Amino acid sequence: MVQRVRKAVLPVAGLGTRFLPATKVIPKEMIPVIDKPVVQYAIEEARAAGIEEFIFVSAEGKESIAAHFSPHPELERALEEKGKTAELKLVRDASLPAGAMHIVKQGNPLGLGHAVWCAWELVGNEPFAVILPDDMVLSNTPCLKQLIDAHAQVGGHVVAVEDVPRDQTNRYGILDVLTDDGKLAKAKGLVEKPAPDKAPSTLAIIGRYVLDPSVFTELDKKTRGAGNEIQLTDGLNRTLDKVPFHGLRFEGVRYDCGTRVGFVEANVAFGLAHPEMADRLRPLLQKLLK
């Protein structure tokens, strides 16, 4: 019987150097796409997938992330007094239930593997989700729910994957595929950021994972990998003799908000998917392209 996935780890301790100067003071996760900070989409996706506890791996200067998901009594009172019920609902809906949010500080940004390791104590010995808010997914079924459903069938580690152009393999963790039924690919190995001619496939891991807790023991060894960082992919790779690893080709489209072009693309895509905005946005975009 596969254990239910109740907890999600959100690593948000990165420096966001690709978004300077915007990220000098504002965490990149707090930059809005349309009308919500990027990280709110991640939390909404996790809640829609049944996650009940949210563990932010954070850093100094990122306090606004926790504030965004906490009640704001002054603002709520002011909106109430003005009879702004719709706005009040938006503010309240952004708050997480009491006790559902945990913050752990990474201290030093030593890599994604290290960020996930920081949540060990709070996750304990149960399967858990990892969401990188930078990767936004527009889909009919929340991407994380798709992973959790697949995990209930196959257990072990289940991560979201997509085929990338071969000249981009050096940006991703890449699967060395054992079997592939077109939807689920079982991996016999993982390579972090391989050069295109060394990549065992073009199946790349994106920012959604459901992981077996055995990965923590491997991350605890603090082995450095690509870029001299403690890589999550390397930790996972070292568990593959004990735990099955599947990549799920999810339904939906991913937007990489960690890059400037991806961020603009996400704004357009989410705008075109926004019920109150799409009809006004479409002619504006057509005009700009003329």
Residue type at 32 in one-letter notation: P
Q: Would you give the binding string for ligand UTP spanning residues 1-30, x where CB under 6 A is met?
A: ----------xxxxxxxxx-----------
Locate 208 and state its tokens: 């959604």
Chain residue whose CB lies nearest ligand UTP: 14
Q: Would you give the binding string for ligand UTP spanning residues 31-70, x where CB under 6 A is met?
A: --------------------------x-------------
CA of residue 74 relative to chain centroid, distance? 31
Report how far residue 239's alpha carbon sits from residue 270's, in angstroms, rounded to the nearest whole number. 37
Interface segment toward ligand UTP; rule CB under 6 A; list 93-101, 104-112, 165-173, 209-217: 104-112
Q: Which of 41, 46, 68, 111 binds ligand UTP (CB under 6 A)?
A: 111
Could you tell me if 57 and 122 are in contact, meaning their C-beta atoms sit under 8 angstroms apart? no
Q: Considering only CA atoms, which of 196, 279, 219, 212 is closest in space to residue 244?
A: 212
228 forms part of the interface with ligand UTP (CB under 6 A): no
Report how far residue 140's alpha carbon sits from residue 262's, in angstroms, rounded to the nearest whole number. 20
Q: Which of 115, 158, 203, 248 binds ligand UTP (CB under 6 A)?
A: 115
156 forms part of the interface with ligand UTP (CB under 6 A): no
Residue 83 exposed, middle or buried by CB count within 10 Å (0-12, 13-18, 19+) = exposed
193 forms part of the interface with ligand UTP (CB under 6 A): no
Binding site for ligand UTP (CB under 6 A): 11-19, 57, 106, 109-112, 114-115, 132-134, 258
